[in-house]
Amino acid sequence: MFDTPYVMKLAQNLARHAGARQAQIAKNIANADVPGYRARDLPKFSETYQQQGASADQRTTRAKHMTAGASADTRRTVEIGGESSPNGNNVSLEEEMVRSAQVKSSHDTALSVYKSSLDILRSSLGKGR
């Protein structure tokens, strides 16, 4: 009956992106000692948001749900450049920790925006806190 406000959808997508990015960072850290492993990361949320363009209302919920005009897949990873160790692994634990802190900040921002939007919506309906 009622659609979710766009700002709340955007905050949800940012939180999902941050969660997926945190999972990739954890995978990089878990493979820090694997010979030949190349560190990967997700594109920035702003890049995936810009790629969505006018089709922002359409979201892919399953891999084969929509093909043409579907939203950018946030699970597409890109290889992170960096100096490789003698065994071919390029994971830097220090860089992964910095990325992890950035992702936490993005996730906290998304939750704050969502909570504020929810408070405004509740106030407008007269429900208060």
Contact 75, 43 (CB under 8 A): no
Contacting residues for 121 by C-beta, under 8 A, at least 6 apart: 5
Q: Which two tokens stand for residue 115?
A: 């909570």
Contact 16, 74 (CB under 8 A): yes
User: What are the tens digits of pLDDT across the range 36-72?
Assistant: 999 999 998 988 777 665 444 555 666 655 443 333 4
Locate the domains of the chain by residue range.
Answer: 6-124
Mean pLDDT by groups of 10 residues along the chain of 129 residues: 83 95 96 94 85 54 50 66 87 95 96 93 80
The strand pair at 40-41 and 78-79 is best described as antiparallel
Q: What is the pLDDT of residue 80?
A: 87
pTM beyond 0.85: the answer is no
Distance separating alpha carbons of residues 60 and 112, to the nearest angstrom: 25
**In whole numbers, what is the pLDDT of the chain averaged over residues?**
83
